[in-house]
Structure 1
Amino acid sequence: MWSTEAIRRLDGETAPTPLLRLPLPGLRLKDESAHPTGTLKHRLARALFRYGVACGRIREDTAVVEATGGGSAVAQAYFARLLGLRFIAVMPGEPSPARAAAVEELGGECRFVNPPLAIYDEARRLAAELNGHFMDQFAWAERAVDWQSGGLAEELFDQVRQAGGEPGWVVVGAGTGATAAALGRHIRLRGHATRLAVADPENSAYFPGWAYDVADYSTGMPSRIEGIGRPRLEAGFIPSLYDLVIPVPDAASVAAARLVREITGIPVGGSTGTNLWAACELVSRGSEVVTLIADAGPRYLGTVHDDGWAAGRGLDPRPYTVALERFLAGGPWAPPGAAGMDR
């Protein structure tokens, strides 16, 4: 009875997000920050809880543990509260009340662990100690997210069709890889002519792993762009589904995120900037493109939208800002760096 009610509650947490147009011909943004938790990870968290309940791994008294920070932790805390479950996010780094606040406001708990890569072993240990469930999004997200009907992919194509066409490209970033995989599968299932590009930040293994066709490629370095990029190829990243992977400099991601805020008023995160920069590259080739506002929130005002934060990480967005403003004004696409690599 609890599982039936849990699925019913999860199924009731679906609402479409809006499709926006920037003042640039050929470019639309699907605003995933419109979810209650302000992030694309809202869909992912819902899918993971639904999958866990359906598989019998999450029950009425199950403590749910996840190794994550940022939007994923907040979204999972939201759905744990919806189902009346205990939720613990094991986060990398030193204890930070500011990072923990959004999770704790939703009734979740935070544990901080160093070194950062130890979060996975600690989450497994804690889940075993509590007789709970380690959500392990990098292992399960790609199969939990619906790619056939009722998910982001179907919603996006329905909205674009109602707006008068079909995009030449869809551009997304990749963290777990689940969203990109769902879009790639849906495109093939429905026979769309649309191609799929993944935008990838610095330090991530996804672009070089895809470009060189090395399944175990690793950089060993964390991404500075929250929510996307990984130091290794994850199981949910499926190279055969992607037509193009576009590496994006982190300073370009910062500049593009600031541009989105300037135009829309939405304080987006760096991953949205990564998406937009890659999308502009494709628009410059004459393509109709749809990409995502992946997440947004006041906390980003102190990170990607803050000059001190950028300078502290050695990032100078000014040359990229000039390139973007020139392009939006009708000039040529002439970035100081970043190029795609076709197979």
Structure 2
Amino acid sequence: MNKNTLSPTTTNADAAEINKSWVCEAIRKINADYNRSSDTHLIRVELPCFEDITLYLKDESTHPTGSLKHRLARSLFLYGLCNGHIREGTTIVESSSGSTAISEAYFARLLNLRFIAVVPETTAKEKLDKIRFYGGECHKVPGKDIYTEATRLANELNGHYMDQFTYAERATDWRGNNNIAESIFQQMRKEPHPVPDWIIMSAGTGGTSATIGRYIRLNPEYYHRTRLCVVDPENSVFFPYFQSRDPSTASDKGSRIEGIGRPRVEPSFQPDVIDRMLQIPDAASIATIRWLESILGRKCGGSTGTNVYGALQVMQEMQQAGTTGSVVSLICDSGERYLDSYYDDQWVARQGLDLEPFLEKLRNICD
């Protein structure tokens, strides 16, 4: 008999010990996986036209599952395990536009758990294929229904709804433990301007911006110098909510920039740890990743374009003010996932987007 199989004489105490053993082994597997991974690279972007103002990009696309969401998925699994929500045989359910679901499918397979992703109907095929590659199941619904359908499925299957949009900001240890903020500041230590003037970050759940903003405030040497700017795409409510603080702010449209922007104010989004927000046109985001390919020699996802366009805007303001320093932003995922959308001229045309004015600005930025 398998040691985890309950016999007719198994007591509640025995069952508790069996579950404890499984949870301990699950946490060991996740920590071992983390220990096998090196930290993500911090790329210095060569833009000579910005004299003594340097842009750095934290390359989160090099995680095993290819995106920034790998960190979040690991934190959410540890959070669920340590809170007693995830046990042997628990079905994991998540509402996700793709990247978080890909990463959660990876960890679910690591723990031999069933995983179901409730995704918007418009999610890129490449992302759906990746979810399935890791053994996950895809349940497509209209974007506005992902929350209620994920809750329904979890209840029906007696599973656990991870609910990244609620738990992202509390599952991540913002005080340290090599979170993304601590990693950025450690990697910047030997640079000419080691304490960044700005960190530019887009928001999907709001968990990463909350982690970075809190970490900055925890460390006085950073709090006095570093500011956090969150950039938001079109059709997202985070930017208007930041201005109004009205939690009922909502949109009936979804974001074209996958992985960021939300049609409602998510519980994980923490506006009070943010110093500034910018709203970036979708055409600017897509134009930026096409321009950035000529700088980096590689394709990046749409949210990276949102980040970098915002970073360039901040750097131009620093240049005009005669200040020097460093700006850090993120490569969130690879552009290979978006060959049928952001890198497809016909898709761009169907969206009614004109990239040329922004491409011209970007091409002339160092002229």
- TM-score (structure 1 length as normaliser): 0.92
Q: Which residue of 1 aligns with 2:7?
A: none
Structure 1 residue 218, shift from structure 2 partner: 1.6
Q: Which residue of 1 aligns with 2:15?
A: none
Query: What's the CA shift string for 1:212-252, capped at 9, x where partnerless?
Result: 23232222321110000111211111111111001000000
What is the correspondence of 1:111-190 to structure 2 with a 5 Å cutoff? 111-113=139-141, 115-149=142-176, 150-164=178-192, 165-190=194-219
Q: Quick check: 1:219 aligned with 2:251? A: yes
2:143 touches 2:254 (CA, 8 Å); kept in 1?
A: no
Q: Quick check: 1:93 aligned with 2:121? A: yes
Q: Which residue of 2 aligns with 1:245?
A: 277
1:267 touches 1:300 (CA, 8 Å); kept in 2?
A: no
Q: Which residue of 1 aligns with 2:352?
A: 314
Q: Which residue of 2 aligns with 1:48?
A: 76
Structure 1 residue 84, shift from structure 2 partner: 1.2
What is the correspondence of 1:1-40 to structure 2 with a 5 Å cutoff? 1-14=21-34, 15-24=38-47, 25-40=53-68
Distance in 2 separating the partners of 1:241 and 1:16: 25
Distance in 2 separating the partners of 1:248 and 1:91: 24
1:267 touches 1:301 (CA, 8 Å); kept in 2?
A: no
Distance in 2 separating the partners of 1:102 and 1:300: 13
Distance in 2 separating the partners of 1:52 and 1:132: 11
- CA RMSD between the two structures: 1.6
The change in CA–CA distance for 1:95 and 1:71 in structure 2 (over 3 A counts) is closer
Question: Greater shift after overlay, 179-188 or 129-138?
Answer: 129-138
Query: What's the CA shift string for 1:9-47, capped at 9, x where partnerless?
Result: 222333310000112242110100011111001111111
Query: What's the CA shift string for 1:49-68, capped at 9, x where partnerless?
Result: 11001101011110101111
Query: What's the CA shift string for 1:61-89, capped at 9, x where partnerless?
Result: 10101111221111110111111111011
Q: Which residue of 2 aligns with 1:326?
A: 364
> What SS does the corresponding residue of 2:263 show, helix, strand or coil?
coil
Q: Which residue of 1 aligns with 2:313?
A: 281
Q: Which residue of 2 aligns with 1:236?
A: 268
Structure 1 residue 101, shift from structure 2 partner: 1.3
Distance in 2 separating the partners of 1:270 and 1:318: 16
Structure 1 residue 128, shift from structure 2 partner: 1.4
1:173 touches 1:199 (CA, 8 Å); kept in 2?
A: yes
> What SS does the corresponding residue of 2:364 show, helix, strand or coil?
helix
1:255 touches 1:321 (CA, 8 Å); kept in 2?
A: yes
Q: Report how many residues are paired.
A: 328
Structure 1 residue 292, shift from structure 2 partner: 0.1
Structure 1 residue 99, shift from structure 2 partner: 4.5
The change in CA–CA distance for 1:285 and 1:99 in structure 2 (over 3 A counts) is closer
What is the correspondence of 1:54-69 to structure 2 with a 5 Å cutoff? 54-69=82-97
Which amino acid in the other structure matches residue 311 of structure 1?
Answer: A
> What SS does the corresponding residue of 2:89 show, helix, strand or coil?
coil
Structure 1 residue 277, shift from structure 2 partner: 0.4
**Which structure 2 segments of 5+ residues have no match?**
1-20, 48-52, 319-324
> What SS does the corresponding residue of 2:277 show, helix, strand or coil?
strand
Question: Greater shift after overlay, 57-66 or 207-216?
Answer: 207-216
- TM-score (structure 2 length as normaliser): 0.86
1:38 touches 1:297 (CA, 8 Å); kept in 2?
A: no
Q: Which residue of 2 aligns with 1:266?
A: 298
Which amino acid in the other structure matches residue 259 of structure 2?
Answer: G
Question: Greater shift after overlay, 78-87 or 179-188?
Answer: 78-87
Which amino acid in the other structure matches residue 57 of structure 2?
Answer: L
Query: What's the CA shift string for 1:268-311, capped at 9, x where partnerless?
Result: 11100000000001111225210000111422122111211111
Distance in 1 separating the partners of 2:174 and 2:87: 25
2:97 touches 2:123 (CA, 8 Å); kept in 1?
A: no
Distance in 1 separating the partners of 2:125 and 2:271: 38
1:7 touches 1:53 (CA, 8 Å); kept in 2?
A: yes
Distance in 2 separating the partners of 1:55 and 1:259: 45
The change in CA–CA distance for 1:203 and 1:97 in structure 2 (over 3 A counts) is closer
Distance in 2 separating the partners of 1:314 and 1:119: 26
Distance in 2 separating the partners of 1:77 and 1:226: 18
> What SS does the corresponding residue of 1:13 show, helix, strand or coil?
helix
The change in CA–CA distance for 1:108 and 1:279 in structure 2 (over 3 A counts) is same
Task: Calculate percent identity across the aligned residue pairs.
Answer: 48
Structure 1 residue 116, shift from structure 2 partner: 2.4
Distance in 2 separating the partners of 1:87 and 1:228: 22
